Structures are given as C-alpha cells and as structure tokens.
C-alpha cells in the first residue's frame, strides 16, 4: 500500500555533506538498510559530485549499488550536472535531483554556473534519461533551491522563479521541487509559492518540498505544504548536519518529529515510528561528537499514542 | 491599534515555576518592562500559590503591583483557587486564569481537587469578580489543561472535556482556554478540539490557546489554531523552563520564534521583533546556568525581512 505522505530521507546526502566527520561506508549501508526496514520508502543516499569537493560522499556509487539491493526502496541521488547524472545512471539510481538555485548569485557561488548553463545541463540530463531503456529510466527532478529567499540576494522575484520552473519542465524534467535552502520560508510563503509554481507548471509537476528548520518553522511549513496537497516531504534523521554553532538550529527537518506529526494527524506514512527511533543509535554510535536533534526522540511518544503500524494490524484484525 | 494576534507572554509564570533558580524580583521587573516596551501587550507575571509550593513566584503580588504601572499592559496571573483570586484582585491583576485539568487523576495529583471542587472554586471566583466595582473587574478565564491528553490517563473522553468547558462557563467564567500541558497536541487534534469546544460554548468563549513544544510541533499547532480563528497564543521568552534533560525539548513555545512566524506571515502582533530579541539578554545575564531556546535568535532574521514595526513606519510614511 502506497503511503499517503512520502517521507524522503535526505540525511545520508544533505546531512552528511554538512558535517566534517566522514561516516564509514559500512555504517551508511547499515543506516540505509535499517531505515528502509523501518518503512522509509525513499532515501537520497548521496551526491555525484567530485570527491575532492565532498569527500564525505565519495562512496556514493558504492552506496547506490548497495541501496538498490534493498527491497522496495527508491534510491535517490543529487546530481550537479550531466557528468554526475551519467555516474548516477551507471550506478542504477532511481531518482536524480538537479538543483537550480533561483538566485543567480547563489548559483554562481555554489555551482559556478549561470541559470542558462544549469538549464542546459537539465536538457542534456533529460536527453540522457530519455535514452535509457524502458524500465531503467530514473525519475528526474529539477529542484528550485533558495526559492524562499537567498542569503546573498534576499527575496527572489516571483517572475524569475516561475520562468525557471517552466524552463526546467521545458528542458525535460519530470517535475520540479521547492527547496528552502536558507530556512527563510514561512507557512504563508509556502502556500503562496506552491500556488504560483503549480499555476506555472501544473499541479502534477510539483509534489515535493525540501524544508529547513533554521528558524523553528519547519513543521509548520510542512503543514502548510500538506494543506496545499503536496505529498512528498524531505527530512533528515536526527536532523543530522544541523548548524553546530546554533544548538537546535538544525538545517533539515528531523525525520522522527515529522513522522510523529504525520502519524498523530492520522496520515499514513508506512513507517514504523518506534523502529525508526531505534535507527538513531546507528548514527549516534558512529558519530559520537555529532549532535543529534529532535524533540520526539527525547520526549518519547504520548501515552495512548497508537503507532501507525499497530493501527494497520488492528485494521487487519478487524 | 490592537494586534491581529495577541502574543501572551507566560515566561515569568510558567517558565520560572519550572526552573530551580529563583529570578530576583528586580530582574523580573526589568524583564516585564523590557518586553512590554518591545510591544508585548499581555504578560502572565506570576501565580498566587503558596510560597512554600513555588518559592520562585513568592513575589507575585509585588510583581503585579509593578506590572500595573507599565502602560498598556494586561497583567495576567494564574490562580489555583478562591484564595489566590482574592490576592490577585487585591494586587490589581487584569486577568485571572484558573486551571482545570480535564484529567481528574491529574487534577487530584496537581491541585488535589476533584473536578466538582474546581468548578465550585470557579463559581466562587466568578462571584468575587462580579462583586468588584465596574472598571476593576478582571477578566476571568478557565483553562482546560491536559486537554490533548494526560501523562497519567492518556486520551480524555471528548464528552468529559465538553461537559467541563460548559461547566466553567456556567460557573461564570468569561471564557475558556485550551492548554496542551503535556505536549501531546498535533495540528489535527488542535483543529478538532477547537471545533468541538466552540460548538459547546460558542465561538466568542474560546479565543486563546496554550501550546507546548515538547515534541517539536508547537508552531505547527499554532498554525492550526490560527486557521481555526483563535487570536491569543501563549509563549515563553527563550522557551525558559524547558526540560533540562531533553535539550531543545522546551515546554513552552518560544516567543521569539512565534513572533517571527506571525510577522513573516504578515500578521500584526504589535511587537518590535529585533527589540524583543534583545530582551533575552536580561534573562541570560541573570540565569547564566539556564539554557535559553529558540531558533530565530540563533539564526537571525532573513536578509530582506521587514520587521512589522518598519512596515508600520513605511505605511505611515506612504
């Protein structure tokens, strides 16, 4: 049964790229396997960027190969360009995400590419994807990053964002995603942006969102996205990769808190929450110096809270 | 101009009663004055409980007297019974809140009173309030605590909650409030509970909510409450009183993050956010061992973010 809300775990990519320590390949595999066993259906396992830029993710090809052996798991990766996409497809990834920063200043600083150049990469990747044999074509998403504002440019004009969303779809992306890279979003901005981008590319071409918890609004922003009908939400186990000089100011939304909220609201995620909470131990054991975030893991589940998996068992028994 | 959303600061009561250190009376006064100067219109400054039970709040009468000298400030206090209400009225408080735990087990453990006995106190307090001369009658709220679930009883039957809400109104309360004492609420539960309680007592008799951030859902729950039309939200500066063994797992919602969310959404609070952020220094200086929470204070305001006060200036200039 497909979950109503797809929680897409991005810790092995977005979390690990933000910390100095390098998680050993075997621990990454154990993490991915344990989280998939807890019911997580999609994991962004790495990024095909040069190893000298992100040594933390140098083993991405090996991790993809491993993750492909995990039953029922959608193996997602980030690709910065055509070369990354070639490596991702060779490794067998199910989903490619190309980030396009809607702030051109940020795009130049981060990817060293203009908007025009990123759109050219998107077109080349889409052609590569289309040339793959039926059944082996990965899903290809263009992710609009800094879409809620940029630390260098501030607010980005909406017309520019919509033009870039349309350009990604015209280039051949299967869909676009929204990414609050800077943690600038608020619930009203989330609703307004989803409405505007869907107006430009169509409802079916925007289903997912990547939100940060930088200013504590992460889950409130998720709620706004759910209200608008989005069904895929990124999160990071233990909020790994949170900013070390700002305790609690995690970059990513904490997967455990997100799943608790969704299940408390009665939404089906397919995830066994008590089992998910156990997966933290794998990271805590391997990265003892790295803070893990999350409120639900500390507070525990409410008395009388019925985890989704038990609901399913009860329904099956009824 | 009245704010669209009334942020009710509860740190001097709910925050300070949860920590071991006693904040000196002069520091409490400085805190209250500074927060009012930043535009906060309502502050729960203390609780009229026996000093031996809560020595942290033993100076509540003096604090009320001081707070009454602050222009434009609604001075709220918690009262556990008629005796507390007498002291509160003698000191000149503008608003009295009587907690009624909808879990009778919790009510007995916490206030050592049955529901019947608390309703009797409510009736006696309402009579005392009504007997005050015109213009000196405080607002009297009955707060339904543990309304989203109890750590001792789990989920409380809705029929029992509605019966108690009606009983408080019949006893003479001006309104009822909802309090997520245990941090069990989720956005769907918040909406369902507001709908149900308003159905029982009328929309005008439920305008405020007291939410905790125990499982990280505090601001998402606020958003749900705003969607339902509530206009008063409790919060605690720096999340003071957060649980020390669960870093980040603050009890109360952090005022700074709440105000940031509201203003980012374009809602008027009447609060000068940069100035509010400065008030933290008063608490940090006086309670160096006490952790202060909040994401916005660590992350800072987004580039291009226009604080509400500047918006007002711009409107005035236009």
- Considering only the beta carbons, identify the residue of A186, A248, A304 that sits closest to B295: A248
**Is residue A15 one of the residues assigned to a domain?**
yes
B181-220 confidence digits (pLDDT tens)? 889 999 999 999 999 999 999 999 999 999 999 999 999 9
Number of inter-chain CB pairs under 8 A, A vs B: 146
Residue A314's pLDDT band (boundaries 50, 70, 90)? low
Residue A291: predicted pLDDT: 86
What's the average model confidence in pLDDT over B12-35? Answer: 95
Question: What's the CATH code of the domain at A190?
Answer: 3.20.20.70
- Chain A CB within 8 Å of residue B293 CB: yes
For residue B206, being part of any structural domain is answered with yes
By the CB < 8 Å criterion, does B244 face chain A?
Answer: no
* Residues of the domain holding A165: 6-317
| pLDDT reading at A248 higher than 50 | no
Nearest to A194 by CA among A182, A212, A181, A176: A176
Does pLDDT of B314 surpass 80? no
A217 with B182: Cβ contact below 8 A: no
pLDDT tens, position by position, A56-104 = 999 999 999 999 999 999 999 999 999 999 999 999 999 999 999 999 9
Query: Is residue A292 less than 8 Å (CB to CB) from chain B?
Result: no
Is residue B173 flagged as an active site residue? no
What ipTM was estimated for this complex? 0.93
pLDDT of residue B283: 96
Cβ within 8 Å, pair B223-A222: no
For A19, A149, B104, B210, B233, the CA distances from B100, given in Å and listed in that order, are 47, 44, 9, 13, 18
Question: How many structural domains is chain B composed of?
Answer: 1
* Angle (CA) B152 B209 B34, round 5°: 115
Mean pLDDT score across all residues of chain B = 93
pLDDT(A249) > 50: no
CB-CB: which of B152, B186, B216 is closest to A295? B216
Cβ A264–B186 below 8 Å, yes or no? yes
Is residue B230 domain-resident? yes
The answer to whether residue B155 neighbours chain A at the CB level (below 8 Å) is yes
> Could you say which of B243, B249, B284, B286 is catalytic?
B243
Cα(A62)–Cα(A54) distance, integer angstroms: 15
Rounded to whole angstroms, the Cα distance separating A281 from A184 reads 31
Q: Provide the pairing of β-strand B175-179 with B232-235.
A: unpaired
Does the beta-carbon distance from B303 to A151 stay under 8 Å? yes
Q: Which residue of B has its CA nearest to A291?
A: B247
Distance, in angstroms, between A185 CA and closest chain B CA? Answer: 8
A154 touches chain B (CB under 8 A): yes
pLDDT at B50: 92
Beta-carbon separation of A188 and B266 below 8 A: yes
Looking at CA atoms only, how far is residue B98 from chain A in angstroms?
25
Could you tell me if B228 lies within 8 Å of chain A, comparing CB atoms?
no
How confident is the model at residue A3, as a pLDDT? 79
Which of B182, B223, B299 lies at the smallest CB-CB distance from A187? B223
**Shortest CA distance from A189: residue in chain B:** B265
**Low-confidence winner among A170-184, A241-255, B267-281 (lowest mean pLDDT):** A241-255
Residues of chain A positioned with their CB less than 8 A from the CB of B305: 184
* Backbone angle region of A295, left / alpha / beta, with phi > 0 → left and psi within -120 to 50 → alpha: alpha
Those residues with Cβ within 8 angstroms of residue A189's Cβ, 6 or more apart along the chain or in another chain: A148, B264, B265
Residue of A215, A264, A302 lying closest to B296 (CB–CB): A215
Instruction: Identify the residue whose tokens are 């997520």.
Output: B180
In a domain, B32, yes or no: yes
Residue A97, phi then psi, degrees to nearest 5: -120, 125
pLDDT of residue B3: 79
The helix (H) or strand (E) run that includes residue B140 is: strand B139-145
Contacts of B158 in chain A (CB under 8 A): none
Q: Which of B151, B220, B245 sits opposite A223 (nearest CB)?
A: B220
Helix (H, G, I), strand (E, B) or coil at A194: helix
Is A22 contained in some domain?
yes
* Record: contact B303-A149, CB cut-off 8 A: yes
The alpha-carbon gap from B61 to the nearest alpha carbon of chain A, in Å, equals 34
Cα-Cα-Cα-Cα torsion B257, B184, A187, B314, nearest 10 degrees, comes to -40
More confident residue, A242 or B8: B8
- The residue of A180, A233, A302, A307 whose CB has the most chain B CBs within 10 angstroms, and thus the best one to mutate to test that interface, is A302
Q: Is A246 on the interface with B (CB under 8 A)?
A: yes
Which tens digits make up the pLDDT trace of B67-121?
999 999 999 999 999 999 999 999 999 999 999 999 999 999 888 999 999 999 9
In a domain, A191, yes or no: yes
A222:B220 CB<8 A: yes
| Helices and strands counted in chain B (H then E) | 12, 8
pLDDT at A20: 86
Place of tokens 């933390």: A56
Q: Which two tokens stand for residue B236?
A: 């605690």
Q: Is residue A1 part of a domain?
A: no
In-domain check, residue B36: yes
């Amino acid at each position: 049964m497909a979950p109503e809300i797809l929680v897409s775990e991005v810790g092995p990519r977005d979390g690990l790229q933000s910390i100095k320590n390098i998680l050993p390949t075997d621990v990454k595999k154990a993490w991915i396997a344990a989280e998939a066993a807890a019911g997580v259906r999609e994991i962004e396992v790495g990024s095909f960027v040069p190893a000298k830029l992100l040594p933390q993710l140098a083993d991405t090809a090996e991790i993809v190969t491993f993750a492909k052996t995990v039953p029922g798991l959608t193996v997602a990766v980030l690709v910065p360009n055509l070369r990354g996409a070639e490596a991702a497809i060779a490794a067998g990834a199910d989903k490619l995400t190309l980030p396009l920063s809607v702030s051109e200043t940020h795009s130049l600083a981060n990817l060293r590419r203009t908007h025009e150049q990123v759109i050219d990469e998107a077109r080349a990747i889409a052609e590569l994807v289309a040339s793959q044999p039926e059944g082996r074509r990965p899903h290809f998403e263009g992710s609009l990053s800094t879409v809620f504002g940029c630390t260098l440019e501030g607010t980005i004009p909406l017309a520019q964002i919509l033009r870039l969303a349309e350009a990604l779809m015209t280039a051949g992306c299967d869909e676009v995603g929204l990414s609050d890279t800077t943690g600038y979003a608020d619930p009203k901005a989330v609703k307004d942006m989803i409405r505007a981008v869907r107006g430009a590319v169509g409802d079916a071409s925007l289903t997912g969102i990547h939100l940060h918890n930088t200013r504590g609004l992460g889950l409130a922003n998720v709620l706004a996205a759910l209200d608008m009908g989005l069904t895929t939400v990124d999160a990071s186990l233990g909020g790994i990769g949170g900013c070390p000089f700002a305790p609690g100011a995690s970059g990513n939304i904490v997967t455990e808190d997100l799943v608790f909220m969704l299940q408390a609201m009665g939404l089906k995620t397919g995830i066994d929450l008590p089992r998910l909470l156990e997966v933290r131990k794998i990271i805590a054991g391997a990265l003892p110096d790295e803070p893990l975030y999350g409120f639900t893991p500390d507070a525990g589940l409410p008395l009388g809270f019925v985890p989704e998996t038990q609901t399913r068992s009860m329904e099956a028994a009824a």
